[in-house]
Structure 1
Amino acid sequence: MKRTHLPLNGLRVLDAAARYLSFTRAADELAVTPAAVGQQIRTLEDVLGVVLFRRTAKGLELTPEGAAGLEPLRRGFLEFEEAVRAMQAQQSSKRLTIAAPRDLTAKWLARRLADYGRSDPELGFAMVAADDSLDFTQANLDVAICLAEEKGEHEGVMIGPREHVTIGRADGPDRVIGWPGCPMKEGDPAITVADAGLAIDAAAAGLGHATVPALLADGDLASGRVIELARRPCSRAYWLIAPVPQWRQKKVKALVAALGG
């Protein structure tokens, strides 16, 4: 069924003017001029095809047509207010749905979410694997992390440097460990794995050396599982992104701050 277009501004003015029976007092409440109130009422009368107020010797008077709609109108405004409160109540939810590459989750994100989660027992996380066809609406996502040159069409902050690091073991063989997206193009790699996280693990196992985003290797370098063999700038970095409505959520702002954005 096609819905009738509702002149909500005019109806709000009608409600205020009917309560005070004064355009001046209604204007004070609505923070507009009395002339603006009068114009809204005249426009509403034109739209509805009825007279809403009459001026009498005693002052402003509501017509029977105007009075007939006031009770359902005010019920409707209360319903609107409840709807707004219900939507705003979701801001109090501290559960976040995050899409991120699997290797980033394993090597970097999971540890930081664990640290952040200890700061507030109400925090909760739903993790999903990111892919190239990221759809915030369909996946009901709050934020996503992607490896890209720029943040793209969404709001976002860069996390980690635009750097690749080559890692391996001091006693490891001089063999290249490849993975999809690997920046090393030195012919066919001796070993191929599914992602950069597995490339780090393969290097730690002594299978060769791997060149991966520096952010992913930080934990393994710090623990001594691998050593740094070389470091170079690159065009891509990890970006924490979200559409504007999600980005404005308090819980997303807090997550961005916690992850160092």
Structure 2
Amino acid sequence: MKRTHLPLNGLRVLDAAARHLSFTRAADELAVTPAAVGQQIRALEDLLGVVLFRRTPKGLELTDEAAAGLDAVREGFLRFEEGVQAIQAGQSSHVYTIACPRDFFAAWLGPRLAAFRGENPQMRFVLVAGESEVDFTEANLDLAVRWSEGPGDLEGIALGGPDMVVVSPPGSSGDVPWIGWPGDPFPAGEGQDPAMSVADAGTAISAAGSGLGRARVPALLAEAATATGAVSASPAERACRKGYWLVAPLPQWRQKKVRALVAALS
């Protein structure tokens, strides 16, 4: 018999009925009716071509054919349970694999992961560069941070709002050159090349703090630099539809360990 054709439901009923030697008590265990147990047993007998139970004056008895295979059936169900437990073990794993843009990790996520591990010292983190949409399955990810207009077809929460600010060297006037980055490549207007272009918003903030110009960046990313006085910030006139989103496919999102970290970050 092919593995894909194994009558697992029938074998589960056989195991329960054999332990109780009663269709009624087996039905109670399985939360079905005694008639349903009888139907499963008859169907299994028809499939296997053997009689599994006989009714005697003393009650229900296993046939020799049923008794011969019962230990192996029970061993199989124990292995199934071990397999399910191994699969579920990932939910209680102490390792998180997270894809995140480097600048967002340095400015926002890193300190919060440190605080989370301070309360959960057994936790470990594996960080994957996430400048683009990393494949969850290929990278074996638990969570990802993405700069996008929403979670798309994934589950997710927004980390802060989509607000943008203009960061400038402390004490500078507004008449300083623009710094561009991939999220805002033409801050002075479409087709007008900025005085400086950098790889990401975090580098743009650092460049502004060094006196190289001003940049329009996500407010969430600029919070730490603004708080320390490394840059000054003012609201950006131009709106932005994108923001930072913490996302995962639904199976990962439902995991206990993922829910704990999402709650800590939200």
Identity value in percent: 61
Q: TM-score, normalised by structure 1?
A: 0.94
2:172 corresponds to: 171
Which amino acid in the other structure matches residue 174 of structure 1?
Answer: V
Deviation at 1:10, TM superposition (A): 1.1
Matches of 1:185 and 1:129 in 2, distance apart? 29
Which deviations, in whole Å up to 9, do the C-alpha atoms of 1:19-61 show, x marking residues without a partner?
Answer: 1111001011111111111111122222222221222333222
Change (3 A) 1:185 1:4: same
Deviation at 1:90, TM superposition (A): 3.1
Q: TM-score, normalised by structure 2?
A: 0.92
2:112 corresponds to: 112
Deviation at 1:216, TM superposition (A): 0.6
Matches of 1:243 and 1:132 in 2, distance apart? 16
Give the gaps of 5 or more residues in structure 2.
Answer: none
2:90 corresponds to: 90
**Structure 1 residues 1-261: aligned runs within 5 Å:** 3-169=3-169, 170-171=171-172, 173-182=175-184, 184=187, 186=189, 187-232=192-237, 233-260=239-266
Deviation at 1:191, TM superposition (A): 0.7
Moved over 3 A (4+): none
Matches of 1:48 and 1:155 in 2, distance apart? 45
Q: Tell whether the 8 Å contact from 2:95 to 2:124 is kept in structure 1 after alignment.
A: yes
Give the gaps of 5 or more residues in structure 1.
Answer: none
CA RMSD of aligned residues (A): 1.6
Deviation at 1:133, TM superposition (A): 4.2
Change (3 A) 1:158 1:148: same
Deviation at 1:4, TM superposition (A): 4.2
Change (3 A) 1:27 1:223: same
Matches of 1:45 and 1:244 in 2, distance apart? 40
Matches of 2:56 and 2:241 in 1, distance apart? 75
Matches of 1:231 and 1:46 in 2, distance apart? 75
Change (3 A) 1:5 1:167: same
Matches of 1:52 and 1:185 in 2, distance apart? 82
